């Protein structure tokens, strides 16, 4: 029995800032962003959008197909949680009308936790093949203004239905793991933006890739040349390019630089348009590959490297299934990106600085999102979500 991803859908914000606009304001060459880090746009959440509304919007087409009674467990992965106690998934559970016997839990380990959720979901389905698990990853990446991280902001959510005999991707049980206690990127409870040592984080990312790969090849019969394409965690697109070149070099790969680039190029396209989405980024990369590559991928092996700062990393494999396009939402994704609204620099600052109650202030939030769900108010310390 195979277990894996039966359906996948992603969502991002209603607004975006073109990095040419940021470069113009900073009086720098736009190619610093377009080529240097491989990013073109970054999603900016509207005042009434957050990780819950994006998650519900990402999962909606899946629930509309299978029905609200079909899912036994909802696993919500995020590193930008909205509450220290209550899972963001419980709000999503209500918004999507899911049944009361569905378990819900939130997972955290920087950008890695969506992969932890995927592996836990596969284990639950392997234990009870009739069950279906909804995995959602949703994040808003924010950094301080006028810092190197500012251009790598973004936001997005991805939803995956995990089942037996999946239509899209059969996930191999063989994994390579690596954990190390490092301080390359972190966000203390008292901060709304992360702290990051960029050069050190890049070094740790590449070291974790090497260690996870070595563990993977020790437990799996698959080798580098068995994979057609690779999906990486995407803090910015250039990071995946560096990582894949590093992995190819470690394996003494005989491919040309162009062939090595071709193994990841299609996975980067959505990320270049929405920016960093933390936990969701690697799986939005999978959406990007499947939505853009015209060739039939049936039967081909995809390598995945998931990285979460601090750090936990994992390399695993998945095989594309015949008929995988039936589980995609390609046209919906294209329409979503086409309908977004570009903002100018002043509008960007307004969204960035939109009041975020820290002391329990009550606020009503105007409707601006184009999505199906919104954050309408915060009253008496309670977040109020409603359908649009």
Q: How many CA within 13 A on the CB side of residue 41?
A: 23
Contact 227, 244 (CB under 8 A): no
Whether residue 347 lies in the annotated active site: no
**Residue 233 bears catalytic tag:** yes
Contact 165, 4 (CB under 8 A): no
Q: What is the DSSP letter of 111?
A: B
How many domains does the chain fold into? 1
Half-sphere exposure of 245 (CA within 13 A, CB side): 9
Which one of the listed residues 7, 40, 79, 106 is annotated catalytic? 79
Query: Is 181 one of the annotated binding-site residues?
Result: no
Looking at residue 361, what is its pLDDT?
78
- Give residue-wise pLDDT tens across range 28-85: 999 999 999 999 999 999 999 999 999 999 999 999 999 999 999 999 999 999 999 9
Q: Check the annotation: does 276 bind a ligand.
A: yes
Average pLDDT over residues 350-372: 88
Q: What's the pLDDT score for residue 47?
A: 96
Residue 360 has pLDDT above 80, yes or no: no
Q: Domain of residue 338: give its range.
A: 3-387
258 catalytic residue (yes or no): no
Local confidence band at 1 (pLDDT 50, 70, 90 cut-offs): confident
- Residue 242 annotated as binding? yes
Q: State if pTM tops 0.95.
A: yes
**Closest by alpha carbon to 368, among 6, 15, 1, 10?**
15
Residue 238: which CATH number? 3.40.47.10
Provide the pLDDT for residue 65.
Answer: 97
Please answer whether residues 283 and 160 qualify as being in contact, where contact means their C-beta atoms are separated by less than 8 angstroms. yes
Between 358 and 240, the more confident residue is 240
pLDDT one-digit tens code per residue, 116-172: 999 999 999 999 999 999 999 999 999 999 999 999 999 999 999 999 999 999 999
Catalytic annotation, pick one of 7, 49, 102, 111: 111
Tell me whether residue 143 is annotated as binding: yes
Q: Which residue in the list 93, 164, 215, 233 is annotated as catalytic?
A: 233
């Amino acid at each position: 029995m195979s277990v894996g991803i039966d359906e996948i859908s992603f969502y991002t914000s209603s607004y975006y800032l073109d990095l040419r606009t940021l470069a113009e304001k900073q009086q720098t060459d736009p190619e610093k962003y377009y080529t240097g880090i491989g990013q073109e746009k970054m999603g900016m959440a509207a005042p009434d959008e957050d990780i819950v509304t994006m998650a519900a919007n990402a999962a909606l087409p899946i629930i509309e197909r299978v029905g609200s009674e079909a899912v036994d467990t909802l696993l919500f992965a995020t590193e930008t949680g909205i509450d220290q106690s209550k899972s963001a998934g419980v709000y999503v559970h209500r918004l999507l009308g899911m049944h009361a016997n569905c378990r819900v839990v939130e997972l955290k380990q920087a950008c890695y936790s969506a992969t932890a959720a995927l592996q836990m979901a596969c284990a639950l389905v392997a234990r009870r093949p009739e069950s279906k698990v909804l995995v959602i990853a949703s994040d808003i990446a924010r950094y301080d203004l006028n810092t190197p991280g500012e251009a790598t902001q973004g936001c997005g959510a991805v939803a995956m239905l995990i089942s037996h005999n999946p239509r899209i991707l059969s996930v191999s049980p063989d994994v390579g793991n690596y954990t190390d206690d490092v301080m390359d990127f972190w966000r203390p409870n008292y901060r709304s933006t992360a702290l990051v040592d960029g050069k050190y984080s890049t070094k740790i990312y590449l070291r974790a890739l090497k260690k996870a790969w070595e563990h993977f090849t020790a437990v799996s019969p698959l080798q580098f040349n068995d994979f057609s394409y690779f999906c990486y965690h995407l803090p910015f697109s250039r990071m995946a390019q560096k990582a894949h070149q590093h992995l190819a070099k470690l394996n003494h790969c005989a491919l040309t630089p162009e062939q090595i680039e071709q193994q990841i190029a299609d996975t980067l396209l959505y990320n270049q348009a929405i920016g960093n989405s933390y936990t969701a980024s690697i799986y939005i990369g999978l959406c990007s590959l499947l939505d853009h590559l015209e060739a039939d991928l049936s039967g081909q092996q995809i390598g995945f490297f998931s990285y979460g700062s601090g750090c936990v990393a994992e390399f695993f494999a998945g095989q594309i299934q015949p008929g995988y396009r039936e589980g995609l939402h390609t046209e919906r994704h294209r329409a979503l990106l086409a309908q977004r609204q570009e903002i100018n620099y002043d509008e960007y600052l307004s969204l960035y600085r939109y009041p975020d109650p820290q002391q329990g202030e009550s606020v009503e939030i105007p409707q601006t999102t184009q999505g199906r769900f919104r954050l309408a108010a915060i009253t008496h310390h309670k977040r109020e979500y409603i359908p649009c």
